[in-house]
Amino acid sequence: MPLTKSEKIWMDGTFVDWDDANVHILTHSLHYGLGVFEGIRTYETSQGPAVFRLTDHIKRLFDSARIFLLDIPYSADELVEATKETVRVNNLSSCYVRPLVYLGYGEMGLNPLPCPVQVSIAVWPWGTYLGDEGLKHGVRMKVSSWQRHHPNALPPAAKGTGMYINSSMAKVEALKAGYDEAILLSPNGYVSECTGENLFVVQDGRILTPPVSAGALAGITQQCVKSIATDLGIDYEVAHLLRSDLYTADEAFLSGTAAEVVPIRSVDDRELGEPGPITRAIQDTYFAAVKGEVDRYKDWNEHV
């Protein structure tokens, strides 16, 4: 589906018309893939639009930048404020938010240090990432033939732009084989995560999710799942999982800012069926929380 345009994009401190938000063809990040980004959502609440866990996302953006030695020329507070302003000037009550830190036009070659670190923030209306049907009845997953990168090849804690070649290859493979989404295993064979989502299985009433050491990003939605599960009295554990754990799970689901909380209905054609009670409980509470309907999670709604 083509993007639904918004009006303005924040680029290095100024608002630029959507159609004029261009970069030079010799932009360093375009060639070598070194940049960092975030994916955030703004939701409509009864008190107006609120960016969900904005401060946590901007903090992760800075952590990603730090890992790659990118010196962001703004403070975290400035980018929080710039994000809110971008949502405000575009007059959107709900939208996706994409801050990007990239190396601009400077020198070519693999040394990134001489290139300017530039920042943009774009927002646009974006519906369900894995489809309404998937949200209701679950998505069909395929374990990818591509592995998640080894932590000593690319650091899983960082959201680096070029790292997503791995996700894109797995995504395309899954789609071409007729599935909705891919699951990647780590180089030593443990379950890692999906192409842009964390993964959970439910076994004997407990929620289990793979650790960062298996190559998974420390997801902010994953942290929400942990808080919600704990508050609902559901056991939540970080544990190494094997591929067969996916096949024998009582329930499984995935989480991510774009995807939100989505049930998994099958893995490699092993049917898990319609979403189970724990998946539903987490999903329902998450959707209430993003809309500001749960008092105990109101801190997550950062009003613009």
* Residues 233, 256: Cα–Cα separation, whole Å: 22
Mark out the alpha helices in 182-276 (DSSP H runs): 220-231, 243-248
Number of residues forming the site for ligand PMP (CB under 6 A): 15
Of 28, 24, 166, 37, the C-alpha closest to 110 is: 28
> If binding is defined by CB under 6 A, does position 219 make contact with ligand PMP?
yes
Shortest distance, CB of residue 37 to ligand PMP, whole angstroms? 9
> If binding is defined by CB under 6 A, does position 39 make contact with ligand PMP?
yes
Beta strands in the chain (DSSP E): 8-11, 14-17, 35-37, 40-45, 48-52, 95-103, 117-124, 139-143, 181-185, 191-194, 198-203, 206-209, 236-238, 251-256, 260-267, 270-271, 301-303
- Written as one string, the DSSP assignment of 258-276 is TTEEEEEEEETTEE--S--
Shortest distance, CB of residue 56 to ligand PMP, whole angstroms? 8
Q: Which stretch binds ligand PMP (CB under 6 A): 79-87, 121-129, 214-222, 273-281?
A: 214-222
Torsion of CA 170, 176, 181, 185, to 10 degrees: -30
**Burial class, 216, CB count within 10 angstroms (exposed 0-12 / middle 13-18 / buried 19+):** buried
219 is written with which tokens?
């997801």
Q: Which stretch binds ligand PMP (CB under 6 A): 128-136, 203-211, 249-257, 271-279?
A: 249-257
Q: Which stretch binds ligand PMP (CB under 6 A): 8-16, 96-104, 252-260, 289-297?
A: 252-260
Q: Which stretch binds ligand PMP (CB under 6 A): 91-99, 100-108, 250-258, 293-301?
A: 250-258
Nearer to ligand PMP, 186 or 255 (CB): 255
Shortest distance, CB of residue 64 to ligand PMP, whole angstroms? 10
> If binding is defined by CB under 6 A, does position 256 make contact with ligand PMP?
yes
Sign of the C-alpha dihedral computed for residues 271, 277, 280 and 281 taken in this order: negative
Judged by CB under 6 A, the chain residues 136 through 195 that form the site for ligand PMP are: 159, 167, 193
> If binding is defined by CB under 6 A, does position 220 make contact with ligand PMP?
yes
Sign of the C-alpha dihedral computed for residues 73, 76, 77 and 80 taken in this order: positive
**Of the residues 29, 42, 144, 221, which one makes contact with ligand PMP according to CB under 6 A:** 221
Shortest distance, CB of residue 256 to ligand PMP, whole angstroms? 4
Q: Which stretch binds ligand PMP (CB under 6 A): 12-20, 200-208, 216-224, 295-303?
A: 216-224
Choosing from 8, 142, 159, 226, which is the catalytic residue?
159
**Of the residues 27, 42, 86, 198, which one makes contact with ligand PMP according to CB under 6 A:** 198
* Residues 223, 228: Cα–Cα separation, whole Å: 9
Shortest distance, CB of residue 40 to ligand PMP, whole angstroms? 8
Phi and psi dihedrals of 94, rounded to 5? -140, 140
* Residues 90, 95: Cα–Cα separation, whole Å: 10
> If binding is defined by CB under 6 A, does position 197 make contact with ligand PMP?
yes
Amino acid at position 80, single letter: V
Shortest distance, CB of residue 19 to ligand PMP, whole angstroms? 27
> If binding is defined by CB under 6 A, does position 64 make contact with ligand PMP?
no
Asked about 159 being catalytic, the answer comes back as yes
* Residues 269, 246: Cα–Cα separation, whole Å: 11
| Catalytically active residues, by annotation | 159
Residues that bind ligand PMP (CB under 6 A): 39, 159, 167, 193, 196-198, 217, 219-222, 255-257
